[in-house]
Chain A
Amino acid sequence: MAHSSLSQNEEGNMNTLIGSGLWPYLLVIFAGFLPTDIWRWLAVIFARRLDDDSELMVFVRAVATAMVAGVITRLVLFPTGDLISIPLMIRVGAVAGGFIVYFLARRSTLIGVIGGEAIMIAGAYFNVAP
């Protein structure tokens, strides 16, 4: 897949470029912690003026949900790590299987995760030469 090889090349560049130890930690603080916590703080400050069911909140929730869903798709369809070696059909099948098990188990997240994992691990075991 053109995509994964591209991102791997860039990973190499990035690692040599940044090399030194502090960069990931600064990234955690300034690109992870601050943009996340600012919403938690704003919520405390403005709590009384906001209505959870207001249309603005519904819109914000919709954008956030779609974005996380996008990350999920990317992890399954364009993975970076070991998952690359698994055929696409097995990856998609494990997701679909986990979904079906989740609903069969009356919406149990834990059992759904175990179901999807069972398919993925079995698929990986029989597909990848040790």
Chain B
Amino acid sequence: MSESDVSILPDPTSQPALSARQWYLRGLWAGITSVQGIVLFASYIGFGGLCADSGVPLGAAAFSTFLIAALPSQLLLVGGYTSGTAALVIALAVLLSAARLLPSVVTLLPLLRGRGRFWVQLFASHFVAVTVWVESQRLLPSLAREARLPFYFGLVTLFNMSCVIATVLGFFLSGQLPRALAIGLTFLTPISFLLALTRNSRDLVDYLSLALGLVLAPVFVEFGGRLDILWTGLVGGAAAWLIHRFRKMKRAT
């Protein structure tokens, strides 16, 4: 993207006309100062610690953060790896859990559209996960159209890099810390995820599927065999959806 491209269109808002490079840098800076980014960083420290605890090699842990950039998928991967689950079953669990990314990307794309060509959009979509989605929804709408894509790439560059650093940091910290702090590190993943899921819940169906998933998991750990997480998701999610449908129908009559 050359600088002249950006200045072709008049700025719809009163923002200063910056080059794409400058918007990229602003995106980087927005990532550094983001509170959600700090929570994400902490979660990946926890993930690094979990990997060290679970016998995942450091390189694979960092590689997974760099390449997957979606903590739920990575958790399922490590969980499956530790319990010796067949690769195909892990892939299936990851596939089901990552389905949540589809609506996220779909709702984010209109913000990034405009000048983005297909391949650029495909590349941009690779970085979408919960935190990126939340922060993009917060930051992008107020920006001029031409500013959004470079700003977004700055933001996700920062998030991706800092997550890899956090993974490596967490991995090394897990062997070095006093015992109480090491335990706190392991606890980071479940607590931060639970609160992030709670915060992202909008409707009754979100709260229901969260609560049912939490409550049903021990049942399926007991009776679901190797596929316990799949069963928890399918049964809990379907039940939450049915209750949501039932209420909607009752309201309509």
Contacts and interface: CB of A to CB of B under 8 A. Distances in A.
Interface of A: 3, 7, 10-11, 13-15, 21, 24-25, 27-44, 46-47, 50, 52, 55, 57-83, 85-86, 91, 94-95, 98-99, 102, 107, 109-110, 112-113, 116-117, 120-122, 124-125, 128, 130
B182 A82 contact: yes
Interface in B188-205: 188-199, 201, 205
Contacts of B184: 117, 120-121, 124
**Lowest 4 CB-CB distances: which A-B pairs, in order?**
A69-B213, A67-B233, A81-B53, A63-B237
Interface residues of B, number: 109
A63 B84 contact: no
B209 A128 contact: no
B250 interface: no
A120 to B, nearest CB: 5
Interface string B58-73: 0110011001101011
A47 B90 contact: no
Contacts of A35: 73, 91-92, 94-95, 98
B77 A73 contact: no
Contact of B39 (A70, A98, A113): A113
Contacts of A68: 72, 75, 97, 100, 193, 197, 213
B81 A14 contact: yes
A125 B57 CA distance: 28
A31 B236 contact: no
Which residue of A3, A58, A78, A99 has the most chain B CB atoms within 10 A of its CB atom? A58
Nearest to B72: A68
Interface string B105-119: 111010000000010
Nearest to A120: B187
B39 to A, nearest CB: 5
B60 A80 contact: no
B107 to A, nearest CB: 5
Which residue of B49, B208, B209, B220 has the most chain A CB atoms within 10 A of its CB atom? B209
Interface in B18-66: 35-36, 38-39, 42, 49-50, 53-57, 59-60, 63-64
Interface of B: 35-36, 38-39, 42, 49-50, 53-57, 59-60, 63-64, 67-68, 70, 72-77, 79-84, 87-88, 90-107, 109, 118, 121-122, 125-126, 128, 178-184, 186-199, 201, 205-206, 208-218, 220-221, 228-230, 232-238, 240-241, 244-245
13 contacts: A11-B82, A24-B56, A27-B90, A38-B95, A39-B98, A42-B102, A46-B106, A59-B238, A61-B209, A67-B236, A73-B217, A81-B49, A121-B184
Nearest to A17: B84
Contacts of B77: 27-28, 31-32
A120 B183 contact: yes
B217 A60 contact: no
Nearest to A108: B35
Given A61-B103, A64-B99, A130 B179 contact: yes
A52 B202 CA distance: 13
A109 B92 CA distance: 30
Given A73-B214, A73-B218, A130-B179, A81 B54 contact: yes
B84 A11 contact: yes
A80 B53 CA distance: 8
A76 B99 contact: no
